[in-house]
């Protein structure tokens, strides 16, 4: 089983898996990610490879992290329900409301599964928009590209925060805690390397984040 593989019975995803940007560059960077992850050195795996474009690196990794969270949450859909999780929360102090600025402009309170459904749909829309995530080699990235990426990662973190606070015992009973912890460690190291999430946003899991970063 690969580092980020799950047992066969859990190979359902919450949303269909996304592929890395097409073209030789996207495939090449994806191979680099897989090779460095295979070495087990996550700190090395997140670094921008020498001579590579930062935006290309962020784009390929954004797709990868979307897929990872997608698979993780997909294993919990029967346990994370509107009745068990009526709000999208990360412990008693943190509650997240949904707004995308287009269809829902004013933040609304929704259940955790509805929030994740809105979120994954919104991320898919960004990933499929070639004006934001260009598919062709050499096509320009928009000037606000890093802002979009930061919003995606900030919101993906909220899914991790919800799972750790509300479903970690279920993750343990499914024997997936090692996999989840490795995924989260990879996520934290990547977002820290490129300063993608403000420190205040990490508060619901800050002790865990600190232990990963060894601050």
Asked if residue 199 belongs to a domain, the reply is yes
Residue 32 lies in a domain: no
Phi-psi region of 40 (alpha: psi -120 to 50; beta: other; left: phi over 0): left
Helix (H), strand (E) at residue 88: strand 88-89
Say how many domains are in the chain. 1
* Rounded Cα–Cα distance for residues 122 and 102 (Å): 10
Residue 4 has pLDDT above 80, yes or no: no
208 domain-assigned: yes
189 in a structural domain? yes
State mean pLDDT over 25-37. 61
34 domain-assigned = no
Encoded tokens for 129:
């928009």
Residue 158 belongs to domain with CATH number: 1.20.140.30
Q: What is the mean pLDDT of the chain?
A: 86
CA separation for the pair 164, 183 (Å, rounded): 12
Give pLDDT tens digits for 114-136. 999 999 999 999 999 999 999 88
**Domain with 202 in it:** 54-213
| C-alpha–C-alpha distance, residues 209 and 215, integer Å | 9
Does position 70 have pLDDT exceeding 60, yes or no?
yes
Rounded to an integer, the average pLDDT of 4-32 is 52
Length of the chain: 215
Q: Does residue 2 form part of some domain?
A: no
Asked, for residue 6, whether it belongs to a domain, the answer is no
> Has residue 22 been placed in a domain?
no
């Amino acid at each position: 089983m690969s580092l980020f593989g799950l047992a066969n019975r859990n190979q359902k995803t919450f949303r269909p898996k996304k592929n890395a940007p097409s073209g030789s560059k996207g495939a090449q960077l994806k191979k680099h990610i897989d090779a460095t992850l295979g070495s087990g050195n996550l700190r090395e795996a997140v670094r921008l490879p020498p001579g590579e474009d930062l935006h290309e690196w962020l784009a390929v990794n954004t797709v990868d992290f979307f897929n990872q969270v997608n698979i993780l949450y997909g294993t919990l859909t029967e346990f994370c329900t509107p009745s068990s999780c009526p709000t999208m929360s990360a412990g008693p102090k943190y509650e997240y409301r949904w707004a995308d600025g287009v269809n829902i402009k004013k933040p609304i309170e929704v259940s955790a599964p509805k929030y994740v459904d809105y979120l994954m749909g919104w991320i898919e829309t960004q990933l499929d928009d070639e004006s934001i995530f260009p598919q062709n080699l050499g096509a320009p990235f928009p000037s606000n590209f890093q802002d979009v990426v930061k919003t995606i990662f900030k919101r993906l973190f909220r899914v991790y925060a919800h799972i750790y606070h509300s479903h970690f015992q279920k993750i343990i009973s499914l024997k997936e805690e090692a996999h989840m912890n490795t995924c989260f460690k990879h996520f934290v190291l990547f977002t820290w390397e490129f300063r993608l999430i403000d420190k205040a946003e990490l508060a619901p899991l800050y002790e865990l984040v600190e232990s990963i970063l060894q601050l």
